[in-house]
Structure 1
Amino acid sequence: MSARKWRAATLLTGLVAAAATVAVPPAQAHQPDRGHGHDHGSQVRTVGYFIQWGIYARDYHAANLVTSGTAARLTHLNYAFGSLDEQGNCVSADAWADFQRPVPAEQSVDGVADVAGQPVSGNLNQLRKLKVKYPNLKVHISLGGWSGSKYFSNAALTPQSRANHVKSCLDGWLKGTIAGTDANGKGLAAGIIDGVDLDWEWPASTAGAPGNVVRPEDKVNFTALVKEYRTQLDKFPGRHKPELTAYLPANSREIDKGFEVSKVFKYLDFGTVQGYDLHGAWDLETNQQSALRTPKGDPTPAPGYSTEVTIDSYLSRGAPRNKLVLGVPFFGRGWTGVTNANRGLFQKATAAAPGKWEAGGEDYKELKAKVGKDGFKIYRDDRAGFSWIFNGTTFWTYDDPTEMRRKARYIKDRCLGGAMIWSLDADTADGELIKSLHRELTSR
């Protein structure tokens, strides 16, 4: 991802805590759901992040969700990100992108350009059009992210700050006042956003972005914050109550520092669980970034990092499995200066591999184009469930259609709540990854 969220891993600090992860007992495998009544039971969700800043250098627009076939395969679209000011109130991180930018016809969902003086333009108007075209699609505002979590601790600190924060977010994003109000005081962007996704990275942890406000009481305050959200959302006007979700870390150390798992899930409709950035160029040697199971020969202390370790961590802490939505990456992680042995896996490296948007990170569509060129060959570990490419000096690990299908089968086999994608702009123009993921998720 760009400078907003690929950095969300912070997994390198939790090796000792990860080793203490408790395996879920067989008797827990098919427990009935516990928690809030808004949960949708056995529904398999497909949640995709649409990044606000993608309209700039990436040239990725809401219209691309249509032409790629992506929107038709989503149950939820998370619009990333909304921001918080120092007092914890919700504000726009980029008003031009959110609701001011006039979108030309060629970038518009319905082929109609914005006109001067219309109440709402930009991404929000395109999301409104997207919902008209796909009426079953739910759009959530994702709050925070890696570079936007600085003041979450302030928002969650006291009963009054929590109430003020939640009201500001529901007024701004769900009632639509973020883009201003009309003569009657009604929000100009009302009816576009259907729910809230909390992306606080991470409560009570210094492993987040530098400068984040961190307090020891963040853990209990996060629970109180989601409870306040649920209280106000349940009173929200309208026939359909808005949903509440949260983005949650893979590292058991960050889980235990910042989240009262069984309590939090009582208030969430579902949680999206980080299933990527398990390793990256912050490590001194190559490894997988999103394997289903810890690979044989992995030098990471047992049990290592993997989807299975993460999911079992949440289940053992009381999360209902049908509220666990597994995050899958549409990007890869890479190293260069890699020792030419073992097809590049578990080898020393000298630096992050050069990437189009950041060192050590690359979109799937860019990595796909490398296969068969400049000496790159593709390799797989079918037992652990991951793939990589290597050309003798540069190593990239990422999920291709084969691995997406494998992830989807895992989600179904474990009776999980679905898949979450970071981020949709990294797929091919014809939606190669989401088509593979969706086809397997919805097959019988």
Structure 2
Amino acid sequence: MYSLFLGLNLLLNAHLGSAYQLMCYFNNWAQYQSDVEGIKPHDIDPCLCTHLIYSFVGIWKNNITMTKKKALDDYKEFNDLKKRNNQLKTLLSIGCWNSGTAPFITLVSAPEGRQSFITSVIKFLRKYGFDGLNLFWQYPGCHGSPPRDKHLFTVLIQEIRKAFEKEVSKNKKPRLLVTAAVDGAIATIKSGYEVSQLSRSLDYIQVMTYDLHGSWEGYTGENSPLYKSPAETGIKAFHNIKYIMDNWKQKGAAPEKLIVGFPAYGHTFILSDSSKTGIGAPSNRGGHPGPYTKKTGLWAYSEICTFLKSGATQVWNAAQQVPYAYYGNEWVGYDNIKSFHIKAQWLKKSSFGGAMIWAIDMDDFTGSFCGQGTFPLTSTLKKVLKLHNASK
């Protein structure tokens, strides 16, 4: 009997030890472009991710507000995905770079404003069927946000968590989750985050380990390298996933709450000299906009696959464990199935809580661009993390 108990206990521990999270952002931008056939909420495979995060909503007069009139239909479709996977959790993300810092600065500046916001959040999440909130403030304590906001961001998180716990005691529903997307830059962490305090109140901390290099630097570089380049010195040596995640952990964040960011897109460059094609090659601007993302200097994975099929030279960057490719004077640093697999294995060995992908709509969701099946990047993460709770 004792041996049976011991065996069951070991089995339980093994199961708990493999409970990684896969948190997938869904950005609804493409639906509102008349000439783009973008992904709709019902196109998402609800069994790929443990959490789906709808982005974004805004803040108006210290209250949560919809950014698009069509969003009501989106919310219903998005949360109806839980009917096809009852273990799926959905979160609503508020903020992002486009919303600016001003609404957050006003919100956190007074207790009354924070309370108004929290009340509106609980009402909004319950009304539309979300399981929690994702705060996406870029960034407290910098980029126009005053130094005091570093602490006030902590206060806001603490008050949200307390209100979510209090709300549970009244309606007997599962507690709403509270998570935050955070930066990895040393200066931003120092200016914006009280790491230990945030870790105690947040359920998960999604670390944006991407946009680490781009056309704004004037030379080619990888979007989301696992390790530093041998040629990188000084602060540039910190622009890699390993350093960023270790830094968050060393500053007091619980490893099991830290979620590693995975980009389903790459940064593009126009080479100044098409004969110089390696890491650090001179670049004079971002690459041409893709037909779907329509952003200079950025391609979704599906767009990258089209570029690769056009005859581009593909190079595996062994030092940083990510690929890059070039054709003529166009150059892209990106991720593929191989780099996602390697990074996911690394996060498991490092005992982090899981992965988050920005964004599932930038993956090849139809399977028609890359020839790797539907959602190839997201599916790779699910497979490596062995997500039983996202498979039913």
Q: Shorter-chain-normalised TM-score: which range?
A: 0.7 to 0.9
By how many angstroms is 1:171 displaced?
Answer: 1.2
Letter in 1 for 2:106: N
**Contact 1:344 1:395 (8 Å CA) reproduced:** no
Kindly provide the CA deviation profile for residues 91-115 of structure 1, in whole angstroms up to 9, marking residues without a partner as x.
Answer: 1111x2211xxxxxxxxxxxxxxxx
Distance 2:63 2:17 in 1: 32
* Counterparts of residues 55-204 of structure 1 (less than 5 Å): 55-57=31-33, 58=36, 59-66=38-45, 71-85=46-60, 87-94=61-68, 96-99=69-72, 122-149=73-100, 150-172=102-124, 174-176=125-127, 189=128, 192-204=129-141
Letter in 2 for 1:164: S
* Counterparts of residues 221-300 of structure 1 (less than 5 Å): 221-236=152-167, 237-298=171-232
Distance 1:246 1:229 in 2: 12
Distance 2:115 2:240 in 1: 37
State which of 104, 127, 147 in structure 2 corresponds to 1:216. 147
Out of 420-429 and 220-229, give the one that drifted further.
420-429
By how many angstroms is 1:391 displaced?
Answer: 1.8
Distance 1:427 1:433 in 2: 6
By how many angstroms is 1:313 displaced?
Answer: 1.3
By how many angstroms is 1:62 displaced?
Answer: 1.0
Distance 1:354 1:64 in 2: 28
For structure 2, list consecutive stretches of 5 or more residues without a partner in the other structure. Answer: 1-15, 367-373
1:433 equivalenced with 2:369 (yes/no): no
State which of 52, 57, 61 in structure 1 corresponds to 2:28. 52
| Large movers: runs of 4+ above 6 Å | none
Q: Over the residues paired in the alignment, what is the CA RMSD in angstroms?
A: 1.8
Out of 336-345 and 129-138, give the one that drifted further.
336-345
Kindly provide the CA deviation profile for residues 120-158 of structure 1, in whole angstroms up to 9, marking residues without a partner as x.
Answer: xx1011023211111111000101111124311111112
**Contact 1:52 1:97 (8 Å CA) reproduced:** no
1:408 equivalenced with 2:344 (yes/no): yes
Distance 2:195 2:387 in 1: 31
Distance 1:170 1:42 in 2: 31
By how many angstroms is 1:317 displaced?
Answer: 0.6
**Contact 2:227 2:241 (8 Å CA) reproduced:** yes
By how many angstroms is 1:299 displaced?
Answer: 5.8
Secondary structure of residue in 1 paired with 2:200: coil
**Contact 2:276 2:282 (8 Å CA) reproduced:** no
In the other structure, the counterpart of 1:20 is none
By how many angstroms is 1:41 displaced?
Answer: 7.6
Distance 2:90 2:235 in 1: 40
Kindly provide the CA deviation profile for residues 304-362 of structure 1, in whole angstroms up to 9, marking residues without a partner as x.
Answer: 30001110110111001110000100000010034345633211111110122100000
In the other structure, the counterpart of 2:254 is 320
Structure number with the bigger relative contact order (C-alpha 8 A, sep ≥ 6) is: 1
Distance 2:251 2:234 in 1: 23
By how many angstroms is 1:78 displaced?
Answer: 0.6
**Contact 2:178 2:202 (8 Å CA) reproduced:** yes
TM-score between both structures, scaled by the size of structure 2: 0.87
Secondary structure of residue in 2 paired with 1:49: strand
For structure 1, list consecutive stretches of 5 or more residues without a partner in the other structure. Answer: 1-39, 100-121, 177-188, 207-212
By how many angstroms is 1:372 displaced?
Answer: 4.1
Secondary structure of residue in 1 paired with 2:70: helix
Distance 1:301 1:204 in 2: 20
Distance 1:239 1:175, change over 3 A: closer
**Contact 1:42 1:417 (8 Å CA) reproduced:** no
Distance 1:437 1:377 in 2: 26
Distance 2:261 2:227 in 1: 15
- Greater per-residue helix proportion: 2
Secondary structure of residue in 2 paired with 1:232: helix
By how many angstroms is 1:370 displaced?
Answer: 1.3
Distance 2:387 2:24 in 1: 19
**Contact 2:42 2:78 (8 Å CA) reproduced:** no
In the other structure, the counterpart of 2:305 is 368
Kindly provide the CA deviation profile for residues 370-419 of structure 1, in whole angstroms up to 9, marking residues without a partner as x.
Answer: 1142x411111223211100124211011010111011111111010100
Secondary structure of residue in 1 paired with 2:260: strand
In the other structure, the counterpart of 2:3 is none
In the other structure, the counterpart of 1:12 is none
Distance 2:301 2:245 in 1: 24
Secondary structure of residue in 2 paired with 1:344: coil
Distance 1:329 1:223 in 2: 27
Secondary structure of residue in 2 paired with 1:151: helix
Letter in 1 for 2:151: V
Distance 1:262 1:251 in 2: 17
Out of 136-145 and 299-308, give the one that drifted further.
299-308
In the other structure, the counterpart of 2:239 is 305
Distance 1:367 1:300 in 2: 31
Distance 1:395 1:352, change over 3 A: same
1:352 equivalenced with 2:286 (yes/no): yes
Distance 1:422 1:132 in 2: 24
Distance 1:344 1:376 in 2: 14
**Contact 1:343 1:392 (8 Å CA) reproduced:** no
Kindly provide the CA deviation profile for residues 6-32 of structure 1, in whole angstroms up to 9, marking residues without a partner as x.
Answer: xxxxxxxxxxxxxxxxxxxxxxxxxxx
